[in-house]
Structure 1
Amino acid sequence: MDKTTRLVKALLNNTNSNTNPSLTWRLFKHLLSSPSFKLPIHFAPLITRILIRAKMVQEIDQLHQLILLQPLEISRVSMIEVAKTVAKSGLLDKALFQFRSIRGGFPNQAPPVHLYNVLLEVSLKENRPELVSELYRDMMVAGVSPETYTLNILMGSMCDSGRLEDAQKLFDKMPLKGCRPNEYSFGILIRGYCKSGRGVRALELLDEMEEGFGCSPNQVIYNTLISCFCKEGRIDEAEKLVERMRAGGLCPDVVTFNSRISSLCDAGKVGEAFSIVEDMRENDELELPKPDVITFNTMLEGLYIKGMLNEAEALVDSMRREGMFAKVESYNVWLLGLVRNGKLLEARFVLKEMIGKGVSPSIYSYNIVIDGLCKQGMLSDARTMMNLMRNNGTLPDTVTYSCLLHGYCSKGKVYEANNVLHEMMWNKCFPNTFTCNILLHSLWKKGKTTEAEKLLQKMNERGYSLDTVTCNIIISGLCKTGKLDKAIEILDGMWIHGSAALGDMGNSYIRLVDDSVSKNGCMPDLVSYSTIIDGLCKAGRVDEARKLFIKMVQKNITPDSVIYNTFIHYYCKNGKTSSAFRVLRDMEKKGCDPNTRTYNLLIWALGNQGKIDETLNLMNEMKDKGIPLDIFTYNNLINSLCEDGRTEDATSILDEMLQSRVFPNISSFRMLIKAFCKDCNFAAAQEVLEIGTSICGHKEVLHDLMLNEFLSRGKVLEANNLFIAAMDRGLDAGSFSYKDLIKELCKNDKLEEARKILQKMINDGFEFDPASFMPVIDGLGKRGNKHEADELTDKMMEMVSGQGSEDKGHHKRYDQKKFGQRRHRKDDFSGNDWQTVLHRDDGSGLVGKVLKRVQKGWGQGNVSSIRIKKKDILDYWEET
């Protein structure tokens, strides 16, 4: 056995064990140094894979030089195989270097088509469309005839980049290039049309595939089309495709059913989707595919979106039994559903369960819960959750901080938002466009237009792309500040310049931006138009709003119920009910379904005009169309009936509300109480009050309304009894017009009842306006009951003295609370009737006496403090 043979065996043995890649590489180099050694074709890609696995990427260049020392034919074939191996490993740039070396080193021999195919496919996977075009042009120059596989790759690239027309042209030219389209060619193009929402054209291709080319569609093509039609809401066409699929000898699989279930859930037909899942699980006679994890996850998400919490909980239990919670994706669906429905405590328990069962929560898992906590204003809990995720080895990302930032900005806590931004940058987690949009929205909301413009400028300087959301924030801010013309100018400019249309709003590069790039990334959407149309309607410029609406439709932006409701609201507000109804019928004609708000606006307008019969007809129309009636619908009707004097009919609406599971609110009962009192039917009013109390709780506002109704109609003793009963129930006396009650009692010579109220408020621990004593003291004085008047004066002074000395002991001013709160809440006497008492001069000496007592305990001055200047949001941009 010669030396070369022994080395080859040693190399192969070491390659198979692959325990020492460095030794393999040394053996290989030693072999190539032998003049008599001819490199086998399979050796070069084998060594290349070993080097890549060992992350010895730099040695590939040395391998390239060694291969060039081999005979030309061996060298060429080996370099082709190395280039293919390197490309398939994801090292595209190194593969292109090998490819160019082949093109330059062997100018008379074009690279084989399969090398082009590999490079094209990898370029497509790496999202490098420019390389796809470059490589295809090189094929044409080199005279390499493309295969069907080659053209399929090119079509896939065009479809993915939205160039469907170019893909179609290439498809049509395939026979001219000597390539017959196969089922994959049709599948790529059908998927492209489906992805762009052109299901009808995709279906035409299916017909062409079967009739013109005699190709049989596979299961993937059918599933793609069925999914497309389901997403477009064209369920009947999807069902026909399923039957056509069966007729072609293909059985619908779980993917087919998942598309159907997903579309039903998206359409809100969750019950129908759930029935299909149940059949898949239990009905073996139908020979349906068994549901998989995606089926259960889709169904669970649909139940939570619909708010069917009991059904969702039952499905979760079933998924647990069947072991569906083995992966983090299912847990994330569960978490998101709980958070969407405000079940934040349960969501935190789910996180703990995940950790306990060895399923590590992803950053997305934590962000779901943190976002939910922030949206509910539970910011300290969100901070706690961030600490938990750190303790479990997951670092917060830009989304985490953005959620927290949004929470603080929504609460108006700018200082805390600044701290979050500072912490975010300190931890090398830099803001993205979404983060900047949160800050931008917060600044516009607070009217800080100058700071908003500076932030826009900084976004440009830092290279943040301004998207449609950014432009919509600016448009919204301009509309709110009355700069509608500027907003319209930006909207029109977005079609030409994209985000550069912001112009002097902080984006000074309007003429430097490539129109095509800017347009693709930032085009006006429905929100852009809705915002400006709403602003124009509010400003009374409805004709301009209508013209803008027509332009929007011409731009193929489909209007929704929000934009139609804007017009309906304007017409209803201005008494143009017939115009509002024309808008309603137009939106129905255009296929836009009216919603509850649409009808509520019309019902409100009809009620203002006293057209009750028309209102009832409109409500019946809502019921016939399955549009739910809400509290505003019923309250509008109650108000109309009460205004028309049909109080008994209004009362019967309460029964219908409860049967429809729409619970009346305080406004419902306020309208009925006022209507009954207006008819002097106080017994009925009090009965409504009791019902309202049982449903809404002991709401002070209802009792105070009843008290005022009694007083305005001279029922002073009834008002007195109501107030005493309310205090016995523990209601807050400060929410009542107790001073008016005391004055009315005194006017009606009911001094003893007035004294009892004062005494009860003192005994029950309420602090109230000291001026409340004065009507009783004056009344006793006029009667000549000087002794009793002096006793009350002493009680009043004792109360004032006690509060004053307590204030002095704490060296601080009173918090400005309403009078009538329990004694543990301290009150400020500024801005109340007590000031009037201090300026009275009735010769009784009371004023001087009071002032002396006040001067001892009050008016101690205040302590000034120097506040450290807080940093603004933009300061952190300067520092980092």
Structure 2
Amino acid sequence: MLCLPTRFSPVMSFCTVHAVSSSHHRICKRFPIFLKLSSSSSSLSALKAMDFIDETTNNDSSYHELHLSMQGHASSGNFAKALDFLNSMRNVPGKPTVYDFNALLYSYLKSQSVLLEYVVQVYHGMERFGPTPNSSTFNVLLNGMLSLGHLKDAFVIAEKMVGGGFLPSFTSLSKVLKKMLQVGDLVNSIGVFKLMLKLEYFPTEPSLSLLISKLCEARMIQEVWFVCYALISKGHFFGAYVYNPILWALCKSGQSYNALELYYWMKRKGIVHNACSYTALIYGFGREGLWRDLLGCLNEMESDGCKPSVITYTIIIKFLCGEGRIAGALEFLTKMEREGCEPDMTTYNVILHELCLQDRMDEVVHLLDMIENKGFSPNSYTYAALGGGLLKTGKIGIACELLLGVITRGCYVDVAVYNIYFHCLCHENRSKEALYLLKKMMEEGLMPSNVSFNTILKGFCRENNISKALKLLDCFKWDENGPDVISFNTILSVACKQKKHSMIQRVLSRLKNGGVQPNAVSLNCLIQYFCKVENFSDCLKLLDYMTCNGSSPTIVTFNVLLGSLCKNGLVGIAQQVFKHLRNTGFFPDKTSYNILIHAFIREGNKVMVNQLVNDMYSQGLKPDLFTYGSLISGLCKEGKASVALKLRDEMVENGLAPSIVIYNTLLEAMFQRGTYSDIFSLLKVLVLEGCQPNETTFEILNRPMCKSWMKRSVEVAKFRELVDECKAN
């Protein structure tokens, strides 16, 4: 008797049909209809099947009635009962046929409760035991998978159909391609496109345009070229609207000159460019700062009789403002008005934002008046442009006043404007006020974003009101995703700086319970915390975890770790960490080398000092003031003041002015050696270079032995008076 399972662990689909190809026993067990087809010599199986028929069907039922009953049960989703009637047809000579199987599949796929595993196993049973699937079988399955939204399965069926010598219709494949593009399955969309080309089918222009647009959006440039080349090689050419997305994709990915080549190829093929084509190139040239090419393209656009659009001009104005060239932007604004191309609010908002950044408030007021006279009304983007510009230039009070006026007047503003206002309030230590406004905003039906919450969280942390920040993190109604990793990092950073262990544990526990994964910022905060509390064991474990998971500490964290290890006498471990991270592709900076050089100088390890200095040069890093200071200090401690002086000369040759700390180190070394004439010479250099002596300098000069020697020479005495005058000043 047929036994259908009530549930399945894996979901079977045509994409995994190869997995059931070896399961002969499984198919026959679930679908006894195939027993007769698979083994005619199995009299026992046949007898059992006949017993089953005797119990469940009327031998006098006609084939037509059985067929209708099977379809009825299949249409209602009762697949088991439908199979009972299909089994019963075996009493009728020559039945069931492939058309009966097709009718079963068609009716069941039209029902509202399809279990795909049943369909797959019936199809596979037909493949193995017969009746062999025909063209109708494949079309039923293909259309059924399309209606159910199983697009990958539809594609697999289409491929099997072609493999079986049948031809899927152009309409069916076009539907598969279109639906795959709509759900964003670009990889399989390319597969369908290749299959269509194989069958000499060519996608409609809307489908082709959508395919190219989607590929361009995903930056799949190689696939775009493949599609275009495949069509061109078969003599198919389309209008500019098909190729324009490629121009845009190339220009957005920094390949403006490649886009220009495509532009001229299109022109040679007689494809007429439109405003979108030229605007794409203008965008690309502006993005890459190729102003000569941009202006050349604009001139060609106008000479070809194609009028620049508002979007074209706005793009140019935006890039000019991005470089701070507000005068040029205003010239283009005037050009737009002169040529009858009316600017829109997007154009004005770009210019307003840049005027605010340059603190040209009189021009802001003038432009706002002009906008109002033209019948435009400021929108949310206008307020964001003004508020954001004022905020960036530090005019927080003016920004607060402006945005408060906008909000209290009842002007429509979006979450972005509120976020700028929250930022302003929190900068003025008014985080509680920001939180009150956030609650009011929610009461009015405007849902804040995580940026809103995180801005206020940061404000409370800046005010050292950590308890309020934690309350906001735990108790406030966030959006459906809850606090994100930035939220937790905001509090974690403060907790780590303040070395508050219990608070760190609380944040980490909340982060874990919220299902949020710590990121590199979180781990960097913890490493710096462990360094502060000198817990190097956990610190190194965390560092190892980061490197094993493909992450790296920031250079600041790395240097904090090196400095802490060296400060605690763990120079050997610091060196191992340095080498380990170098091997993982991490690049230390000058500070990293300086920390280790200074530590090895203190230990008297000249071999390692020389090795690090040479390594520093090989990495393209030049010693800085701190490097030279450490090396000179080490030489002076060894009593090699003359070598240290040569190093000072090297510093000057490299354009570095020695600090007073370096001069004091040299003076101290000369005093210890009793070379007072060298002290006098160095003092002259010090004064001539404009380096101001400090208390340490005068302490060395006022030592009895040094003072006594200086009194013997009139020249030295006068110079000493000059140095004393520097002290008085």
For the Cα contact (< 8 Å) 1:700–1:736, is it kept in 2?
no
Q: Hey, what's the Cα distance between the residues in 2 that align with 1:583 and 1:248? A: 57
For the Cα contact (< 8 Å) 2:671–2:679, is it kept in 1?
no
State the secondary structure of the residue aligned to 1:383. Answer: helix
Question: Alignment partner for residue 541 of structure 2, among 602, 610, 614?
Answer: 614
Equivalent residue letter for 1:782:
S
1:649 correspondence with 2:576:
yes
Question: Alignment partner for residue 595 of structure 2, among 649, 665, 671?
Answer: 671
Give, in angstroms, the shift of residue 403 of structure 1.
3.5
Q: Which moved more, 1:319-328 or 1:465-474?
A: 319-328
The corresponding residue for 1:540 is 466
Call closer, same or farther: CA 1:353–1:284 in 2, change over 3 Å: closer
The corresponding residue for 1:23 is none
1:481 correspondence with 2:428:
yes
CA displacement 1:540-579 (0-9 Å, x = unmatched): 1354133246x224xx356554335435545655446666
State the secondary structure of the residue aligned to 2:549. Answer: helix
Give, in angstroms, the shift of residue 387 of structure 1.
2.7
Equivalent residue letter for 1:731:
L
Give, in angstroms, the shift of residue 221 of structure 1.
7.5
1:782 correspondence with 2:708:
yes
For the Cα contact (< 8 Å) 2:461–2:491, is it kept in 1?
yes
1:353 correspondence with 2:292:
no
Which residues of 2 match residues 94-133 of structure 1 at below 5 A?
none
Q: Hey, what's the Cα distance between the residues in 1 that align with 2:529 and 2:196? A: 53
Equivalent residue letter for 1:566:
T
For the Cα contact (< 8 Å) 1:708–1:719, is it kept in 2?
yes
For the Cα contact (< 8 Å) 1:472–1:528, is it kept in 2?
yes
Q: Hey, what's the Cα distance between the residues in 2 that align with 1:630 and 1:737? A: 30
State the secondary structure of the residue aligned to 1:768. Answer: coil
For the Cα contact (< 8 Å) 1:226–1:256, is it kept in 2?
no
For the Cα contact (< 8 Å) 2:399–2:424, is it kept in 1?
no
1:726 correspondence with 2:651:
yes
Which residues of 2 match residues 288-327 of structure 1 at below 5 A?
298=245, 309=254, 313-323=257-267, 326-327=273-274
Which residues of 2 match residues 184-333 of structure 1 at below 5 A?
206-207=147-148, 225-230=179-184, 252-253=203-204, 256=207, 270=219, 273-283=220-230, 298=245, 309=254, 313-323=257-267, 326-333=273-280
State the secondary structure of the residue aligned to 2:296. Answer: helix
For the Cα contact (< 8 Å) 1:700–1:731, is it kept in 2?
yes
Q: Hey, what's the Cα distance between the residues in 2 that align with 1:571 and 1:248? A: 65
The corresponding residue for 2:604 is 680
State the secondary structure of the residue aligned to 1:737. Answer: helix
Give, in angstroms, the shift of residue 459 of structure 1.
3.3
Q: Hey, what's the Cα distance between the residues in 2 that align with 1:438 and 1:543? A: 32
Q: Hey, what's the Cα distance between the residues in 2 that align with 1:670 and 1:289? A: 64
State the secondary structure of the residue aligned to 2:478. Answer: helix
RMSD: 5.1
Which residues of 2 match residues 391-540 of structure 1 at below 5 A?
393=338, 398-400=345-347, 402-407=349-354, 409-410=356-357, 413-414=358-359, 416-423=360-367, 425=369, 432-441=379-388, 451-452=398-399, 454-456=401-403, 458-459=405-406, 464-497=411-444, 519=445, 522-536=446-460, 539-540=465-466
For the Cα contact (< 8 Å) 2:173–2:192, is it kept in 1?
no
Give, in angstroms, the shift of residue 353 of structure 1.
3.0
CA displacement 1:296-347 (0-9 Å, x = unmatched): 6555655666xx64x664454344433489344344444545655xx32x14
Q: Hey, what's the Cα distance between the residues in 2 that align with 1:683 and 1:365? A: 63
The corresponding residue for 2:111 is none
Q: Hey, what's the Cα distance between the residues in 2 that align with 1:434 and 1:424? A: 13
Call closer, same or farther: CA 1:438–1:483 in 2, change over 3 Å: same
Give, in angstroms, the shift of residue 468 of structure 1.
1.7
Q: Hey, what's the Cα distance between the residues in 1 that align with 2:246 and 2:492? A: 37
The corresponding residue for 1:7 is none
* Structure 1 length-normalised TM: 0.50
CA displacement 1:88-145 (0-9 Å, x = unmatched): xxxxxxxxxxxxxxxxxxxxxxxxxxxxxxxxxxxxxxxxxxxxxxxxxxxxxxxxxx
Q: Hey, what's the Cα distance between the residues in 2 that align with 1:790 and 1:581? A: 67
Call closer, same or farther: CA 1:540–1:834 in 2, change over 3 Å: farther
Q: Hey, what's the Cα distance between the residues in 1 that align with 2:316 and 2:682? A: 51
Equivalent residue letter for 1:672:
L
Give, in angstroms, the shift of residue 741 of structure 1.
3.8
Call closer, same or farther: CA 1:621–1:770 in 2, change over 3 Å: closer
Equivalent residue letter for 1:656:
N
Give, in angstroms, the shift of residue 226 of structure 1.
3.5
CA displacement 1:260-319 (0-9 Å, x = unmatched): 66666666xx4xx123113213346998987875666555655666xx64x664454344
For the Cα contact (< 8 Å) 2:531–2:539, is it kept in 1?
yes
* Structure 2 length-normalised TM: 0.59
Q: Hey, what's the Cα distance between the residues in 1 that align with 2:529 and 2:238? A: 50
Q: Hey, what's the Cα distance between the residues in 1 that align with 2:273 and 2:232? A: 29
Give, in angstroms, the shift of residue 726 of structure 1.
0.5
Call closer, same or farther: CA 1:667–1:336 in 2, change over 3 Å: farther
Q: Hey, what's the Cα distance between the residues in 1 that align with 2:430 and 2:317? A: 36
1:753 correspondence with 2:700:
no
For the Cα contact (< 8 Å) 2:415–2:448, is it kept in 1?
yes
The corresponding residue for 2:330 is 386
State the secondary structure of the residue aligned to 1:767. Answer: coil
State the secondary structure of the residue aligned to 1:552. Answer: coil
For the Cα contact (< 8 Å) 2:282–2:312, is it kept in 1?
yes
Equivalent residue letter for 2:651:
A
Equivalent residue letter for 1:729:
N
1:769 correspondence with 2:692:
yes
Give, in angstroms, the shift of residue 727 of structure 1.
0.3
Call closer, same or farther: CA 1:373–1:447 in 2, change over 3 Å: closer
For the Cα contact (< 8 Å) 2:602–2:634, is it kept in 1?
no
Q: Hey, what's the Cα distance between the residues in 2 that align with 1:361 and 1:750? A: 79
Equivalent residue letter for 1:618:
Y
Q: Hey, what's the Cα distance between the residues in 1 that align with 2:650 and 2:150? A: 83
Equivalent residue letter for 1:768:
C
| Number of residue equivalences | 538
Q: Hey, what's the Cα distance between the residues in 2 that align with 1:386 and 1:219? A: 52
For the Cα contact (< 8 Å) 1:575–1:605, is it kept in 2?
no
For the Cα contact (< 8 Å) 1:281–1:291, is it kept in 2?
no
For the Cα contact (< 8 Å) 1:222–1:245, is it kept in 2?
no
In structure 2, list runs of 5 or more residues that go unmatched: 1-143, 152-169
Question: Alignment partner for residue 487 of structure 2, among 550, 558, 563?
Answer: 563
Call closer, same or farther: CA 1:237–1:279 in 2, change over 3 Å: closer
For the Cα contact (< 8 Å) 2:425–2:433, is it kept in 1?
yes
